[in-house]
Amino acid sequence: MNAIEISKWIVGILVLFGALLNLISAIGIIRLPDVYSRLHASTKAATLGVMCILIGTFLFFSIVDGDINARILLAIVFIFITSPVGGHLISRAGYHAGVSLWESSIKDDLHTKKRKKQS
């Protein structure tokens, strides 16, 4: 096997791994009980999945076609910065709008702090 064959295997594994992570995140969105655990599934797994697919695309076009595409690297950095912040903002807006936690959850520090401030 020459270098291009080996790199095609690596690219295939990366893209399939990213697609699998996205599938796991979609299953997590359906299966998990409340908003916060769903965000836990969707932001982390989908971010890593999309980044794996983009790294696979970048490697494919840079090794096979010899075309270094800086936009894909920029997109990887951009998604890595913004996706967790989006999850944080959605979960915080949900908490302040009064979305309740899963009934089996036992720890809610912000709730006790808020009540102490009100009393």
Partner 1 sequence: MRQNDIILQTTTKIVLFIILAFSVFMFFNGHNNPGGGFVGGLMTSSAIVLFMLAFGLETTKRILPFDFKLVAASGLLIAILTGMGSFVFGVPFLSHTFGYFTIPILGEMELATATLFDLGVYLVVVGVTLTIIQTIGEDS
SS3 letters across the chain = CCHHHHHHHHHHHHHHHHHHHHHHHHHHHHHCCCHHHHHHHHHHHHHHHHHHHHHHHHHHHHHCCCCCCHHHHHHHHHHHHHHHHHHHHHHHHHHHCCCCCCCCCCCCHHHHHHHHHHC
Q: Which listed residue (89, 102, 108, 113) binds partner 1 by CB under 8 A? A: 89
Work out how close the CB of 103 gets to partner 1 at its nearest, in angstroms, rounded to a whole number: 28
Stretch that binds partner 1, among 9-17, 26-34, 50-58, 81-89 (CB under 8 A): 81-89
Question: What is the token pair recorded at 72?
Answer: 């894909």
Work out how close the CB of 23 gets to partner 1 at its nearest, in angstroms, rounded to a whole number: 28
Size of residue set near partner 1 by CB under 8 A:
9
Q: Which listed residue (31, 88, 113, 114) binds partner 1 by CB under 8 A? A: 88
Q: Which listed residue (33, 67, 78, 113) binds partner 1 by CB under 8 A? A: 78
Residues that bind partner 1 (CB under 8 A): 71, 74, 77-78, 81-82, 85, 88-89
